[in-house]
Amino acid sequence: MKPAPFRYADPRSVPEALEVLAAEEGAKVLAGGQSLLPLLSMRLAAPTTLVDLNRVPGLDTVEVGGDGVRVGALVRHAGLLAHQGAARVQPLLARATANVAHPAIRNRGTTVGSIAHADPAGEMTSVLALTGGSVTVASSSGTGTVGWRDLFVGPLETSLPGAAVVTSAFFPALPPRSGTTFAEVARRKGDYAVCGAGVVVTLDEDRRVAAVRASYVSVGLTPEVHDLTDAVAGSPVEKADWAAAGALARTLVEPDGDLHASADYRRLLVGVLTERTLADAAVEAAGGSE
Amino acid sequence: MTTKLFGEPVRRREDARLITGRGRYLDDIGAGALAAAFVRSPHAHARIVDVDVDAALDVEGLVAIYTYEDLTGPLAEPLPVLIPHPQLTAPRTGYPLANGEVNHVGEPVVMVVATDRYVAEDAAERIAVTYEELPAVVGVDAAREARACVHEEIPDNVAARHHQETGDVEPALAVSPHTLSFTQYVERSAGMPLEGKGVHARWDADDRSLRVHTSTQASTSVRAAIAAKLQLSLDQVEVVAPDVGGGFGVKIVHPWPEELLVPMAAIALGREVKWTEDRREHFISSAHERQQRQEVSVGFDDDGRITALDVHVWHDHGAYTPYGIIVPIITATQLVGPYVIPVYRVVVESVYTNTVIVTPYRGAGRPQGCFAMERTMDRIADALGLDRAVVRERNLIQPSQFPYDHHLTFQDGRPVVYDSGDYPALLEKLKALVGWDGIDALRDDAEARGKLLGVGMALYVEGTGPGPYEGGHVQVLGSGKVLVSTGLTTQGQGHETSFAQIVSSELGVPIADVEVTTGDTRRFPYAVGTFASRAAVMSGNAIALAARGVRDKALRIAADVLEADPGDLEIADGVVQVKGTPGASIPLRTVAVLSNPLRYAFDEAAKQATQFAVQASNDQPPVTPGDAPGLEHRDYYSPIRSTFASGAHAAIVEIDPQTWEIDVVNYAVVHDCGNVVNPMIVEGQVHGGVAQGVGGALYERMAYDADGQLQNASFMDFLMPYASEVPDIVIDHQQTPSPLNPLGIKGAGEAGVIPGSAALASAIEDAVGRRITSMPISPTELYDLMRSETAERTAASGRRTGVGA
């Protein structure tokens, strides 16, 4: 369980990093290393060069604005989890991050890294999707923005070219009159979720359900956002039939089975978690009181 | 007496060192050593057609490559069958490196030695082995059906048919008022020590001697194995177990191939060589345990008293049988637990499969036996509509029946005769501890919260401390320091503390003066090993006897000096003194100096001792015939047979009827291991055992696919429970001393794991009203069970309205 030989570069700027990535075919960006290093040790990945971003200044900031939260490439999960400003603008960030693995991993692993890793079992890919977020990508052709829908191509696969660095992720703010919740069922505390669910409920000015969206973890090959509004549209928030939304969600997802859960069991959990998280999110959307 | 520490919850002296990173584990040794890595079979069953090492030869840093062809003499022979048995009619073992055939994924084929482990793995990756695949036999049912066989000459895959009976079971069943028959399964798991195996070897060419460090549970036996296999004289080989990061049975197996190959390479290359097992290697090339198919037929009367029990077990033994049929024998003989079974027949068929070998893992066949017996009790209760505790109570061996002879033969070849115990009291304590009689109120409360609540219990008797022997050596130095050594090893049990407590109490010295060394053949060459819950019973008693020998000698010498009768002396706080006569005393350290008539005054102690020196008689030699210089004693303890500890566990589970998640909300343990050396250590052992029991019941399994590939060979997918999954445990003690040994103790190491699956299956069944016939069980499986049209509903669920319906 020792990695195959690789070269190591520790650039001091993003352009310098891009230079190495362009020059070295098979080079790979290293941030927190919590997904990459186990792959290296098990020789499931053998990059020619690791381009370590950790000494690039300016990538470790969380910027909070009225429209959303921008998370730099070196912000650790633990940093985002503890960021009160970010939590005020988009509460889903802290709620989801709390479910990312264990403290030791959260202290080292980065939110942007886990998005760039594009693991459908990762919490933050799902949160990027649910919030309608995007990433900022630096490449030889300049800096651009890629929306979540264009980013995720398949399991552990993004649309980004090899010589690119994701410098930040942007999570739009929670809309007004909205509430959000995130919940998981995992075999052990801190494990990859058997199934996770993030939901956003938005009410209209009469406290009727205007929009319901959900995104799931460990369900499907790439993160998706499911619109469950039809099941409860127009219901007064207190009377909304969240079970109906859960039932609708079960018909929309296409989970796979693995060692820890059958596809059927995952589908069951999608329904249960949807119903439960929506009920909580609705309370928040309604201003914390029923 | 301030030094009477036996029975006190003394804090573990080794913990500060171990938890602050100052432990010295195998991989901490030999920083400059060459590293070994192995090419292991990727196939479950295959012939080796060709091994091509050419591509590896130009890897810079490569030192040597070994295949089977390079093994000579005894090394080229199959590994030993450590524990032969007449009923093990078709034993098979592997070779240190595969000889033409591989029988499980992970079997070692080629050893690479290089300047470091990275380079060794680079070279290993380039070695091309060509295989011709053979059909793989995976799982106990496939082995039993024998459509394919693991070893060509054994077409039925049966290694051993272990058979014991105490009467004529078929007529007894025929006349029983009621009978039940059922089949159930237990899945594979493994001990999973956090430190895997590892070996470091250093050959001293000048001294022509070999020093081997290995992460083992049996250093003396590894020493003998290395000497035999490498054709060295025993005096040329030293084996030391450094700090060992967990064993749980897997490290009692010996010699592991690597324990022979690493020393072989060290001698051949004249360099230090080290191999440190990685986690994937541990999963696919060490040992597992537990898979069994159990067919049970039981006869019982209207009160639920068992009249006859007939059990047929198929035991998955993996690819080889190096450890004999110890696990099957233990299942067969320990299954009967604390119960009177008037007529009992058991057959355990050990079958070969193309999977990792099966050798004892903490509990060693007992969890399976307990599962068979305790689930039988549950079924009888369900069939008769009786309380499960009542049925158990009616079948218990009574305190007046000890010693109780089951008329079975145990793993040590001795009769299964229970030495002591009080099982009814155990059960009463358990019921009180878990609130058995108040469970309906808890059930209602849980139901109001939308949860299904269930309770289950399981009792066990555990044969502990089998012989043949252990020894202990105690020596008092002139400094006052007391050196204690025993040959068996330590892998986290706290022996430095518990053995020091024994010596401190027996000898009357401060525990701070006592230093304990285990598992070092340089210090104590005769030993058996640390397994079968035997360390405290065996070495504890041996060390106590050795300490008593030292005490006798100290009193004899002090009596001379103090001109008193030895019977009037006592030792406390390291001082020998005449009882009731303050001032008439001599420090034990001074007695130690006086014990050696050669006293060069290297230090103050020796100088001071001269004032006490009794002038020896001119017509006697300085060392009296029959005596020896020094204040030391070596003694051995060899038991007539095993001691039998006992216990009872109860679990309360709450199940979410939407997600089928299983939450263990209460776990109660009543434990009886006779006299307790250190209750804190015993509780720690129980906690660890319960953690592994919960793991085996709810989380862990070896997920082999039909081709014999282990699908979850990492800590990401093999779900060893975290602290967050282990319930809070409430413990009550009962102490029924063993009459068989001087200290009255019984073993405690394995107990905690034994009843886990049985108690939790019972609790889950109670909660959901569906029969649980296979463990472990996970939420996704429970969901399948609840949806199944064919799943059997318990009678209890029918009697209880609204639950599990």
Chain A contact residues (CB < 8 Å to B)? 1-5, 38, 42-43, 185, 187-192, 194, 259-262, 264-265, 268-269, 272
| Segment 649-688 of chain B within 8 Å of chain A by CB | 658-661
pLDDT of residue B804: 42
Q: Tell me the backbone φ, ψ of residue B144, rounded to 5 degrees.
A: -70, -40
Q: What torsion, rounded to 10 degrees, do the Cα atoms B787, B788, B792, B793 define?
A: 20
CA distance B317 to B327: 9
CB contact under 8 Å between A262 and B778, yes or no, is no
The 10 Å Cβ neighbour count of residue A84 is 8
Of A168, A171, A170, nearest in space to A73 by CA: A168
pLDDT of residue B607: 73
DSSP state, B418?
A: E
CA distance A183 to A281: 11
Chain A residues closer than 8 Å to B122 by CB: 4-5
Mean pLDDT by runs of 10 across the 805 residues of chain B is 79 94 96 97 98 97 98 98 95 98 98 98 98 98 97 97 97 98 97 97 97 97 98 97 96 97 98 97 97 98 98 98 95 98 98 98 97 98 98 98 96 93 98 97 97 98 95 96 97 96 96 96 95 95 98 96 95 95 92 87 72 74 89 96 97 98 98 96 96 97 97 96 96 96 95 97 98 98 96 90 47
Q: Name the strands in the sheet holding B178-186, side by side, starting at the edge strand that comes first in the sequence.
A: B158-165, B344-351, B306-316, B292-300, B178-186, B774-775
The continuous run of DSSP H or E covering B768 comes out as helix B756-768
CA distance B160 to B158: 6
The continuous run of DSSP H or E covering B516 comes out as strand B514-518
Chain A residues closer than 8 Å to B278 by CB: 1
DSSP3 helix / strand / coil % (chain B, rounded to 5): 30, 25, 45
Sort B728 into a burial class: Cβ within 10 Å, 0-12 / 13-18 / 19+. exposed
- Mutation target to probe the A interface, by most A beta carbons within 10 A, among B780, B781, B783, B787 is B780
B459 three-class SS: strand
DSSP state, B497?
A: H
The 10 Å Cβ neighbour count of residue A42 is 16
DSSP state, B610?
A: G
Domain range summary for chain A, segments of one domain joined by +:
1-174, 178-285
CA distance A103 to B529: 39
Beta strands in A123-177 (DSSP E): 134-139, 142-147, 152-154, 157-158, 164-172
Summarize pLDDT for A118-169 with one digit per residue, the tens.
998 999 999 999 999 999 999 989 999 999 999 999 999 999 988 999 999 9
CA distance B647 to B683: 13
CA distance B539 to B531: 12
A24 three-class SS: coil
pLDDT of residue A289: 43
The 10 Å Cβ neighbour count of residue A88 is 13
| Segment 696-725 of chain B within 8 Å of chain A by CB | 699, 703, 711-712, 714, 716-717, 719, 721-722, 724-725
CB B693 within 8 A of CB B685: no
Query: What token pair was written down for B348?
Result: 């355990």
CA distance A215 to B773: 37
Q: Are strands B514-518 and B482-486 parallel, antiparallel or unpaired?
A: parallel
Chain B residues closer than 8 Å to A3 by CB: 118
Q: Which of A2, A4, A190 sits opposite B117 (nearest CB)?
A: A2
Query: What token pair was written down for B672?
Result: 């009886």
pLDDT of residue A288: 62
* Residues in Cβ contact with B473 at an 8 Å cutoff, skipping those fewer than 6 apart: B483, B484, B485, B486, B523, B524, B546, B632, B633, B634
Q: How far is CA B215 from CA B197, B218, B489, in A?
A: 5, 9, 10
Which chain B residue has the Cα nearest residue A46?
A: B122
Of A161, A164, A159, nearest in space to A147 by CA: A159
Q: Which of A1, A3, A262 sits opposite B780 (nearest CB)?
A: A262
CB A91 within 8 A of CB A174: yes
Give the pTM.
0.96
DSSP track, A65-121: ETTEEEEETT-BHHHHHT-HHHHHH-THHHHHHTTSS-HHHHHH-BHHHHHHHT-TT
CB B503 within 8 A of CB B510: no
Say whether pLDDT at A94 is over 60.
yes
CB contact under 8 Å between B778 and A260, yes or no, is yes
pLDDT of residue B306: 98
CA distance B513 to B573: 10
CA distance A30 to A36: 7
Summarize pLDDT for A214-225 with one digit per residue, the tens.
999 999 999 999
Query: What token pair was written down for B546?
Result: 């050795």
Q: ipTM score of the complex? A: 0.95
CA distance B203 to B212: 9
Q: CA A79: distance to chain centroid?
A: 15
pLDDT of residue A66: 95
CB contact under 8 Å between B722 and A42, yes or no, is no
Of B404, B167, B405, nearest in space to B308 by CA: B167
Which chain A residue has the Cα nearest residue B725?
A: A188
Chain B residues closer than 8 Å to A268 by CB: 658-659, 783
| Segment 277-316 of chain B within 8 Å of chain A by CB | 278-280
pLDDT of residue B801: 59
CA distance B715 to B217: 23
Domains of chain B: 32-134+197-244+251-285 (3.90.1170.50), 369-466+641-799 (3.30.365.10), 468-637 (3.30.365.10)
What angle separates helix B388-395 from helix B423-434, to the nearest 10 degrees? Answer: 170
Q: Which of A190, A259, A272 sits opposite B658 (nearest CB)?
A: A272
CA distance A172 to A197: 18
Chain A residues closer than 8 Å to B716 by CB: 38, 192
* Bond preceding residue A15 cis, omega within 30 of 0: no
Taking phi over 0 as left and psi of -120 to 50 as alpha, with beta for the rest, B451 belongs to: beta
CB contact under 8 Å between A192 and B716, yes or no, is yes
Say whether pLDDT at A290 is over 50.
no
CATH of A178-285, one of 3.30.390.50, 3.40.50.300, 1.10.10.60, 1.10.760.10: 3.30.390.50
Cα diameter, chain A: 63
Quote the percentage of chain A above a pLDDT of 70.
99
CB B91 within 8 A of CB B159: yes
Question: What is the rounded end-to-end Cα distance, in angstroms, of chain A?
Answer: 54
Cα angle for residues B229, B233, B236 (degrees, 5° grid): 105
CATH of A1-174, one of 3.30.465.10, 1.10.150.120, 3.50.50.60, 3.40.47.40: 3.30.465.10
Of B169, B203, B207, nearest in space to B343 by CA: B169
DSSP state, B555?
A: H
Q: Which of B280, B659, B716 sits opposite A1 (nearest CB)?
A: B280
Question: What is the rounded end-to-end Cα distance, in angstroms, of chain B?
Answer: 63
* Distance of residue B654 Cα from the nearest chain A Cα, in angstroms: 16
Taking phi over 0 as left and psi of -120 to 50 as alpha, with beta for the rest, B737 belongs to: beta
CB contact under 8 Å between A43 and B717, yes or no, is no
Paired with B577 in beta bridges are B570, B585
